[in-house]
Structure 1
């Protein structure tokens, strides 16, 4: 049954994503507002398909703060990369540069405010990323980063990438850690999705100005708080 549901999800969501991307491209020609409206409609459609086709529900623990933050999240599935746009106020995600090469979608991700990371690009790529981040923050938007760097399997707790502490120090934003439990319903390996609950656990904002070792230790502990049993 899970395989049948997943096939139906693929056909419906990805099939309709093509015209949705085309609509967003047309909206972009009219301005950021129309483009954002189409993109937000698309991620709401993604949540709807996940709920009513795959049987995936969402549970939120803690309070989602209002204001401008650096949201530092666990990353187990593609689900949360899209669903953050349902939860937060026009967040700008830090994403892999490879994603911006997807025809149409990649251009929209950049135009929306996505901050591409090219880990092999050296100093020039880092300067471009920081310039992009600065421009996004100047618009009053928050940034979402996966500080462990990539999707991981449930139970895995790799160390944080060096870039997280650099962003925290350079831009002086308080950090909101988010623990996420999604890999059990949306596995990193394999194509079948399973019914269940995706949990987001939002922690209180961590203030600016902490030493690197302290901010990394706190964020690492809190985003992994769902990995070793519920507290």
Structure 2
């Protein structure tokens, strides 16, 4: 019961403050990307403070965050890491689906912030736009953040990586840093959030130029290292 009370208080406070801030984000965007990014970092600080004080969620960091532009490939189990990694990695260019970037006004604000838009059709024009977005981020000294499994998953689930990560890796010729996340046990997709510790583990950078099968296998292993895989038992044959 207490977990539900904490969750309700957190949701009430967070969304009551966040909705006006999000609605005002296009105004901040008019003053330029750097102003918008500082605006977003303040919103992230609000989220972190409420998660700590209301929900009792602590953050544990393992490994080292490298300097210089790299591709961060992270596990995605909750909203928590999608928000916190943006602040922790100093406003990286996050890879975003075209459908989200097409939302009126909000999509313009996201592009102003400097996201990288990916298109599932992956035609030549879409790849050129994605490369343009990525190059703009690198020219500004920013890293790239991608959730290579493509969606939020439950703890222990390890779906194959989407093709977008390998494409960015090949085109940008940057090291990849796998980021394992253990968050879903206290911040489930549905249900009450519980007090506890969320862990981010930054792996060693993987060098550019590896074959696609190798880089995908090593990233997949790196982002899933905090959870044993879910094993679905099958009935024994009689």
Q: Is the TM value for this pair above 0.5? A: yes
Partner of 2:212: 212
Distance in 2 (alpha carbons) for counterparts of 1:79 and 1:28: 24
Distance in 2 (alpha carbons) for counterparts of 1:164 and 1:113: 18
User: Deviation at 1:171?
Assistant: 0.8
Partner of 1:226: 226
Cα pair 2:100 2:107 within 8 Å, conserved: yes
Matched, 1:152 2:153: yes
Partner of 1:163: 164
Distance in 2 (alpha carbons) for counterparts of 1:221 and 1:121: 25
Partner of 2:196: 196
Distance in 2 (alpha carbons) for counterparts of 1:141 and 1:9: 31
Cα pair 2:29 2:113 within 8 Å, conserved: no
Cα pair 1:21 1:104 within 8 Å, conserved: no
User: Deviation at 1:80?
Assistant: 0.8
Cα pair 2:32 2:112 within 8 Å, conserved: no
User: Deviation at 1:120?
Assistant: 4.5
Runs of 4+ in 1 over 6 A off after TM superposition: none
- Root-mean-square deviation (CA), in Å? 1.8
User: Deviation at 1:45?
Assistant: 0.5
Partner of 1:141: 142
TM norm structure 1: 0.91
User: Deviation at 1:122?
Assistant: 4.4
Partner of 1:17: 18
Matched, 1:59 2:56: no
User: Deviation at 1:18?
Assistant: 2.1
Structure 1 residues 205 and 166: CA distance shift in structure 2, 3 A: same
Equivalent pairs counted in the alignment come to 228
SS in 2 for 1:108: helix
**Which consecutive residues of structure 2, in runs of 5 or more, have no partner in the other structure?**
230-238
Partner of 2:5: 4
Distance in 2 (alpha carbons) for counterparts of 1:17 and 1:111: 19
User: Deviation at 1:25?
Assistant: 2.6
Query: Over alpha carbons, which structure has the higher Rg?
Result: 2
User: Deviation at 1:124?
Assistant: 3.4
Distance in 2 (alpha carbons) for counterparts of 1:23 and 1:142: 26
Distance in 2 (alpha carbons) for counterparts of 1:197 and 1:67: 28
Cα pair 2:70 2:144 within 8 Å, conserved: yes
SS in 1 for 2:54: helix
Partner of 1:48: 49
Distance in 1 (alpha carbons) for counterparts of 2:121 and 2:186: 32
Distance in 2 (alpha carbons) for counterparts of 1:126 and 1:182: 32
User: Deviation at 1:138?
Assistant: 2.0
**Which consecutive residues of structure 1, in runs of 5 or more, have no partner in the other structure?**
none
Cα pair 2:73 2:146 within 8 Å, conserved: yes
Cα pair 2:77 2:152 within 8 Å, conserved: yes
User: Deviation at 1:52?
Assistant: 0.8
Cα pair 2:78 2:187 within 8 Å, conserved: yes
TM norm structure 2: 0.88
Cα pair 1:165 1:216 within 8 Å, conserved: yes
